[in-house]
Amino acid sequence: MPARVVYTDEVVNTAIARIPVLRKAGAEIRHTVHSAVMKTGPVGRFVADLLHGTWLGHPLHPVLTDITIGAWFFGSVFDLLAAATGLRRHREAADRLMEIGAMSAVPTALAGLTDYSTIKQEAVEHGAAHALLNSLALTLYLGSIRARHTRNRTLGLILSGIGLQMMLISAWLGGELVYKHRIGVRHGQRSGKLDHWTSVIRADELLESQPVRVDVDEMPVMLVRRYDQIYAIGATCAHAGGPLEQGKLVDHCIQCPWHDSVYDLRTGGRVHGPTTYNQPHFRTQVVNGWVQIRAAEIND
């Protein structure tokens, strides 16, 4: 009988599934953080937008992780160099990098927690495991920094060595969240391919403030008559694929029913996160009683 191949993700998934508290506690934390953001109004929204990276047009968390992972990884490289050369400047470089990594871990964790507050259900366990491992890694690095300061270098090296391994497993989990669960990547389609006027619905079927979803060339589009203007943007929320036509209209904006991203109907532009992407945006006109749309521009 041929030997069964065991894949890394199988091992990790089995291990994560054996900790049921991850799903329960993770879901509660997710809900609590997102509720807190929504309850604190404009200030909470502003801080969350900052941490999601809505202003950047790219999730902020992976940008910050590069600093933390880079600092801790190269800190270990300098630890090895110091062991090989015995030079004090290599030891000092290692110690500074450990400190930089720990300092950058705080905003990195805050950005990650904010993203986690709007993560989809099936990714909750992986997200919680990722956060738990990162927290353990940070604790170990803080212990390492303290040990280095108190001249217990051997203990410092052991703690940062274990911390590095935790961080690398956690980084792998972070990759799973992006590439497998599609957290942080753009959902939906772009508007660019609809480059000609296309009739999509009779104008009298479009009632004031009642969004409608239509499929045009396999592209879901949300149409809404608002303040007697007709607007059309992509119907699939770029954050995680929520149905925008089921969202809540607020002035000239629509709020996604899944995680409350807000888009401007007039431009498809993102107004509030968690999304970091704009929606496809279409121009509209009414010809012979039909609403016609075409791509306004390619929104990035």
Residues forming contacts to ligand FES in the complex (CB under 6 A) are 118, 237, 239-242, 256, 258-261, 274-275
Contact 68, 166 (CB under 8 A): no
Min dist. Cβ of residue 287 to ligand FES (A): 32
Min dist. Cβ of residue 200 to ligand FES (A): 22
Q: How far apart are CA 280 and CA 295, in angstroms?
A: 8
- For ligand FES, give the closer residue by CB, 241 or 269: 241
Min dist. Cβ of residue 199 to ligand FES (A): 28
Residue (of 72, 167, 183, 165) closest to 127 by Cα position: 183
Q: What's 280's DSSP letter?
A: P
Q: How far apart are CA 145 and CA 66, in angstroms?
A: 20
- For ligand FES, give the closer residue by CB, 108 or 261: 261
- In the beta sheet, which residues pair with residue 202? 290
The DSSP-derived string for 240-261 is T--BGGGSEEETTEEE-TTT--
- For ligand FES, give the closer residue by CB, 46 or 197: 46
Residue (of 112, 124, 9, 127) closest to 53 by Cα position: 112
Contact 191, 234 (CB under 8 A): yes
- For ligand FES, give the closer residue by CB, 95 or 115: 115
- For ligand FES, give the closer residue by CB, 29 or 162: 29
Structure tokens at 60: 């902020």
Structure tokens at 181: 């669960």
- For ligand FES, give the closer residue by CB, 164 or 238: 238
- For ligand FES, give the closer residue by CB, 126 or 239: 239
Q: How far apart are CA 31 and CA 41, in angstroms?
A: 16
Min dist. Cβ of residue 236 to ligand FES (A): 8
Q: What's 4's DSSP letter?
A: P
- Residue whose structure tokens are 């400047």: 89
Min dist. Cβ of residue 1 to ligand FES (A): 45
Min dist. Cβ of residue 44 to ligand FES (A): 15
Min dist. Cβ of residue 237 to ligand FES (A): 3
